[in-house]
């Protein structure tokens, strides 16, 4: 049987170069050809922090459009919006009855984000604590074997495995046990203004973030202004020279050349930045062009999402029904 892959993108901001290099590109180039793959705009996950309903709706459509623009082909894979398929929320509750309060409070993302929210005087939504369980439901509902994610998400995939094993042991074999996979380069694209933190689409200041839909001159400006490290030589040392290493990794991801080898090619930061900017623009050009075409035909995107949700529902329902029976709920008949 062909292996199954599930992955998703949260509509919490405009998609970034990090999303493309760390996730989307591999979905397009490898996963959709090698597996029975599902890719979702995981909109329920965008509701765990303060949000604007109209913006989430807009970003969900934009994310789906960009996923198609980047090359996901509905003839090869299933593209859908998470909230269009009830099975995610249905299964999430069952897994909440499998997970413990302690293991969710240990999640790094919860710790970091709840501290940040409290510091900003905001209350912490309960869903910020429980969303890794919803993520487990996203994955387990489809019997995914592999979950391609950036390294920030590996702890959640570990939790998913633990929940699946625990459920299977207690109630009988129901779920396939998935594993996280990561791309070889650019597993973590860093913010150009703060190369010790990830380039994240929900981050406030956009100066260090390349959005896939940024205009060419904006991309150039952001890269030319990227923070580099003290020193003059272009060397690849991610630990001590994170700014230059980040640029080299981005250039490497665009050109396919090794970052260490690329470091030897450049004598100045300026030249490295210039080539990196041009390589990024070259990479993004076809996506931007296709995006413009798709925006002009919203009916097509709607139709892809409608069919995708139908297919996803059919795939998820038998497993979620089996989990309901196994845990002791009376079938509806």
Please give the residue ranges that form the binding site for ligand AQP (CB under 6 A). Answer: 9-10, 12-13, 18-19, 22-23, 109, 149-150, 152-153, 187-189, 198-202
Residue 13 CB, nearest approach to ligand AQP (Å)? 6
Return the beta strands (E) in the chain as ranges.
4-9, 36-41, 78-81, 146-148, 179-181
Residue 116 CB, nearest approach to ligand AQP (Å)? 10
12 or 174: whose CB is closer to ligand AQP? 12
Place of tokens 């699946």: 164
18 or 143: whose CB is closer to ligand AQP? 18
112 or 297: whose CB is closer to ligand AQP? 112
Listed residue (108, 131, 138, 109) closest to 7, CA to CA = 138
User: Is-contact 213 201, C-beta < 8 A?
Assistant: no
107 or 315: whose CB is closer to ligand AQP? 107
**CA-to-CA separations, 289 to 70, 212, 292, 309, in angstroms, rounded:** 10, 11, 5, 26
- Six token digits for residue 78: 């299933």
Q: Which helix (H) or strand (E) holds 8?
A: strand 4-9
Is residue 273 part of the annotated active site? The answer reads: no
Write down the catalytic residue from 10, 111, 201, 273.
Answer: 201
Task: Return the sign of the alpha-carbon dihedral for residues 161, 309, 32, 183.
Answer: negative
Residue 18 CB, nearest approach to ligand AQP (Å)? 2
Residue 296 CB, nearest approach to ligand AQP (Å)? 26
Complete DSSP assignment for 213-229: T--HHHHHHHHHT----
107 or 301: whose CB is closer to ligand AQP? 107
Write down the catalytic residue from 3, 10, 111, 198.
Answer: 198
User: Is-contact 144 176, C-beta < 8 A?
Assistant: yes
Residue nearest ligand AQP (C-beta atom) = 22
Q: Which helix (H) or strand (E) holds 180?
A: strand 179-181
Write down the catalytic residue from 10, 113, 222, 273.
Answer: 113
Would you tell me how many other CB atoms lie within 10 Å of the CB of residue 328? 8
Residue 49 CB, nearest approach to ligand AQP (Å)? 8
Is residue 201 part of the annotated active site? The answer reads: yes
Could you give the residue numbers annotated as active site? 113, 198, 201
């Amino acid at each position: 049987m062909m292996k199954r892959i599930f992955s998703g993108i949260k509509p919490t901001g405009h998609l970034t170069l990090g999303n493309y290099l760390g996730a989307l590109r591999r979905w397009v180039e490898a996963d959709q050809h090698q597996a029975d793959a599902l890719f979702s705009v995981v909109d329920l996950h965008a509701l765990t922090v303060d949000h604007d309903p109209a913006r989430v709706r807009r970003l969900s459509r934009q994310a789906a459009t960009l996923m198609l623009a980047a090359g996901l082909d509905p003839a090869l894979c299933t593209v859908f919006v998470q909230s269009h398929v009830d099975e995610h929320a249905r299964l999430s509750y069952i897994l909440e009855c499998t997970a413990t309060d302690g293991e969710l409070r240990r999640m790094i993302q919860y710790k970091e984000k709840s501290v940040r929210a409290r510091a900003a005087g905001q209350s912490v939504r309960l869903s910020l604590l429980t969303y890794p369980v919803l993520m487990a439901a996203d994955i387990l509902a489809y019997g995914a074997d592999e979950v391609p994610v950036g390294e920030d998400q590996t702890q959640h995939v570990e939790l998913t495995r633990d929940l699946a094993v625990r459920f299977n042991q207690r109630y009988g074999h129901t779920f396939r046990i998935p594993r996280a996979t990561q791309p070889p380069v650019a597993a973590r694209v860093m913010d150009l203004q703060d190369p010790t933190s990830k380039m994240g689409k929900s981050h406030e200041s956009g100066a260090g973030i390349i959005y896939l839909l940024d205009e060419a001159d904006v991309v150039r400006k952001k890269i030319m202004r990227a923070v580099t490290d003290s020193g003059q030589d272009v060397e690849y040392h991610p630990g001590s020279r994170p700014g230059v290493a980040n640029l080299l990794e981005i250039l490497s991801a665009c050109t396919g050349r090794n970052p260490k080898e690329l470091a030897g090619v450049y004598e100045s930061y300026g030249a490295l930045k210039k080539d990196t900017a041009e390589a990024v623009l070259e990479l993004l050009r076809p996506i931007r062009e296709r995006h413009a075409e798709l925006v002009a035909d919203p009916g097509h995107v709607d139709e892809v999402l409608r069919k995708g949700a139908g297919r996803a529902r059919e795939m998820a329902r038998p497993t979620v029904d089996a989990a309901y029976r196994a845990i002791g709920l009376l079938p509806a008949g």
